[in-house]
Amino acid sequence: VHEQASLSVSRVILEVVVDVPIPGPFDYGLPQALAATQPAQALVGQLVLLPWAKGQRLGLVTKAKTDTDVAPEKLKDIVSVLCPELTLPTWWMQLTAFAAQYYHRSPGELALPAIPKLLRSLPKNTGRKTATPWARNTARAAKLRAWESPEASSGVPELTSDQVIALDALLPRLPASSGFSVTLLRGVTGSGKTEVYLRAVAHILQDPQAQALLLVPEIGLTPQFLASLQARFPGMLIAALNSGMADGERAAHWQAAVTGQARLIVGTRLAVFTPFHHLRLVVVDEEHDPSYKQAEGVHYSGRDMAIALASHVRCAVVLGSATPSMESWDAAQRGRYHLLELPDRVGKVALPTVHLINVRGQCAEHGLSKPAIDAIRDCVGKGEQALIFLNRRGYAPVLHCGACSWLSQCNNCSAYRVLHRNKLGRYRLVCHHCSSEAPAPRACPDCGNVDLSPLGQGTQKLEESLQVLFPQARIGRVDRDVARKRGATEAVLAAAHAGEVDILVGTQMLAKGHHFTGLSLVVVVNADSGLYAADFRAPERLFANLMQVSGRAGRTGLASKVLVQTETPEHPLFTALVAHNYAAYAGTQLAERQQAGLPPYTYQALLRAQAKELAVAIEFLRAARELAQTLDAAGDCMLYDPVPMPMVRVANIERAQLLLESRSRRHLHLLLGQLLPQLHEQRTPVRWQLDVDPQEI
């Protein structure tokens, strides 16, 4: 006993986190050979190779200490330091630990995936020792060059008086001495929010050590955008971080951000977990965008984590949007965030006039109303461009048999297969949820009727109808199907910019960021989907989308209009849209949310379960709810009944969900903190995951 006690005090113990869904941390011993080369404290923040079960795996050292509760015979020594060149900073370890706690995951599940695969790959025992991954990656990072910008710097635009006012308010918050602050920049489409960000970035980057992070929605990170940034910051290394990049490229950019070699980092949500060298400013562009929410694995919010990041490095964060999320708008109204507004377009360009077209009871087979067709004809006749917005890709949402009412139901999902037309002109039925597809049947599979008809329309059919209506017009289409082909989207957009397209047809992919100089007409074909959806956030998203798509029109001063086809023109959402009145719409939304006890006035977490049988998933959630009820004896949380998800079956897996809600975030998280470990302990055939602050219910 004596010997053990003295051993345990003299021995260095390392706390290590690992990418496994068990809480940890795990204690390991430091072998003598490694202890001799450096103080144990120097290993904190380093990646190490560990013996794990029967094999080896990667860990991150979070603490060096001298005692442990782990039985001596169970305590193993770390094998080696994997990447001595990389020490993760303390603030970063705290940020990932905070995120892990907030999303109720193990710290390793947040920390380790944030490091590029290339830098955390286990060494292959090929015998010969080669350069470390870090060293090899250093060579790659050194080769990073400026983004190709076609034309030389187009110069710095002059600021409008609104932009001057916004910057005058923003710049004093940027110095390091000002610490953490959140600013919401609300500016109508075309008001020059980007110019305000860029001035703030330029201001911060005057300090040769400083770095700025610009977060963009998933589809915003394009080569063109990077090129335009490069033109603005000639000679400066701009790193890009997004999930689509190849391992090597990603690692090189990441390393440039970590060493400080890259001064400006542009990234999608995952970039928030980069251990920046000296971050001094965070900008979240289009902060309301749903793509900031990670929908797989750890369901984190890139926007919320951007705020957490800024608070950990003690710098300013700027959230920008024409249609801020209700969460951010409410925070700004309450003074928790500084609010800056850009109420007018640059150059006092008029916002487009919005007209509502009542299509109730009309069944135009091509989906376009008479006024819309007339407006398109007029627009194209004048040599201007029209954008037709339809949030539905494919040819038609469903194939239908008029004789027996058969519909093209997916075999694996509770959804219809969508009729598509491939490049050979052949019709196929494709499920947008499980991707299963088959040639469209020539005759009804149920009754043999050969007269099958497509119901409704998608972008493909709309494109076809438009070509019939306007045989002379040059039509371009942009949706995810087009985007699948390499370079196809870019080609259509380039043609549109060059004035070689008269009519652009597309889904919401077209709604964001693009700036078509000749565009004077926007037609929204079906504005009503989502208006009466079960998800209380659906109208908020619809409003944002419509504002966004309307904003494409007339950005360069052409008299422009937006036609919105709807069956309910009297709906207040459309009234606010016509008036370009975000504040009024947000005000009524927030009042409703407060009345109904919904976010941002309550806090939610969603427990989702999947099983082959719906009853099994529901039963799991019922048991979880019961457990939660006993843990929340004081009744601080509202525990709803488990229900099937709106899309109950995907790829033959049945899904259900349990909503937990509280007026107190603290109480909700206290409950989750007790509930989750118990759920982990129970052995169940049900797959489940927790979504804190769910965006889709």
Contacting residues toward DNA, per CB under 7 A: 20-22, 24, 26-29, 50-55, 68, 70, 74-76, 683, 687
Q: Helices 665-681 and 614-631 meet at what angle, rounded to 10?
A: 120
Query: What's the CA gap between 77 and 29, in Å, rounded?
Result: 4
One-letter amino acid of 39: P
Query: What's the CA gap between 118 and 186, in Å, rounded?
Result: 39
Break the chain down into helix, strand, coil percent, rounded to 5.
35, 25, 40
For DNA, which is the closer residue by CB, 97 or 469? 97
Query: What's the CA gap between 657 and 645, in Å, rounded?
Result: 6
For DNA, which is the closer residue by CB, 243 or 517? 243
CB of 78 to DNA, least distance (A): 9
Instruction: Tell me the β-bridge partners of 27.
Output: 15
For DNA, which is the closer residue by CB, 50 or 351? 50
> What's the CA angle centered on 148, arms 147 and 154, to 5 degrees?
100
Q: Give the burial class of 189: count Cβ atoms within 10 A of its Cβ; 0-12 exposed, 13-18 middle, 19 or more buried.
A: buried
CB of 67 to DNA, least distance (A): 12
For DNA, which is the closer residue by CB, 68 or 589? 68
Q: Judge contact between 582 and 588, C-beta under 8 A.
A: no
CB of 21 to DNA, least distance (A): 5
Specify the residue for token string 């800056």: 340
For DNA, which is the closer residue by CB, 33 or 534? 33
Q: What CA–CA distances, in Å, run from 431 to 404, 459, 480?
A: 22, 16, 14
CB of 639 to DNA, least distance (A): 23
For DNA, which is the closer residue by CB, 351 or 621? 621
Instruction: Tell me the β-bridge partners of 503.
Output: 386, 475
Q: Which strands sit side by side in the sheet containing 385-389, from one edge to the other?
A: 353-358, 561-566, 519-524, 385-389, 503-506, 475-478
For DNA, which is the closer residue by CB, 53 or 633? 53
For DNA, which is the closer residue by CB, 346 or 621? 621
For residue 530 the two structure tokens come to 């989502």
CB of 312 to DNA, least distance (A): 27
Omega of the bond leading into 25 within 30 degrees of 0 (cis): yes
For DNA, which is the closer residue by CB, 63 or 474? 63
CB of 690 to DNA, least distance (A): 11
For DNA, which is the closer residue by CB, 8 or 291? 8
Secondary structure of residue 336 in the 3-state scheme:
coil
CB of 434 to DNA, least distance (A): 19
CB of 617 to DNA, least distance (A): 15
Map 548-577 to HEC letters.
Answer: HHHCCCCCCCCCCEEEEEECCCCCHHHHHH
For DNA, which is the closer residue by CB, 18 or 354? 18
CB of 73 to DNA, least distance (A): 10
Q: Give the burial class of 71: count Cβ atoms within 10 A of its Cβ; 0-12 exposed, 13-18 middle, 19 or more buried.
A: exposed
CB of 511 to DNA, least distance (A): 36
One-letter amino acid of 512: K
CB of 159 to DNA, least distance (A): 51
For residue 67 the two structure tokens come to 């005692």
- Output the DSSP codes for 73-85: TT--B--EES-TT
Omega of the bond leading into 600 within 30 degrees of 0 (cis): yes
CB of 89 to DNA, least distance (A): 24
For residue 308 the two structure tokens come to 């957490």
Q: Judge contact between 621 and 633, C-beta under 8 A.
A: no
Q: Judge contact between 591 and 672, C-beta under 8 A.
A: no
For DNA, which is the closer residue by CB, 63 or 667? 63
Q: Judge contact between 647 and 672, C-beta under 8 A.
A: no
CB of 128 to DNA, least distance (A): 24
Q: Judge contact between 466 and 387, C-beta under 8 A.
A: no
For DNA, which is the closer residue by CB, 23 or 587? 23
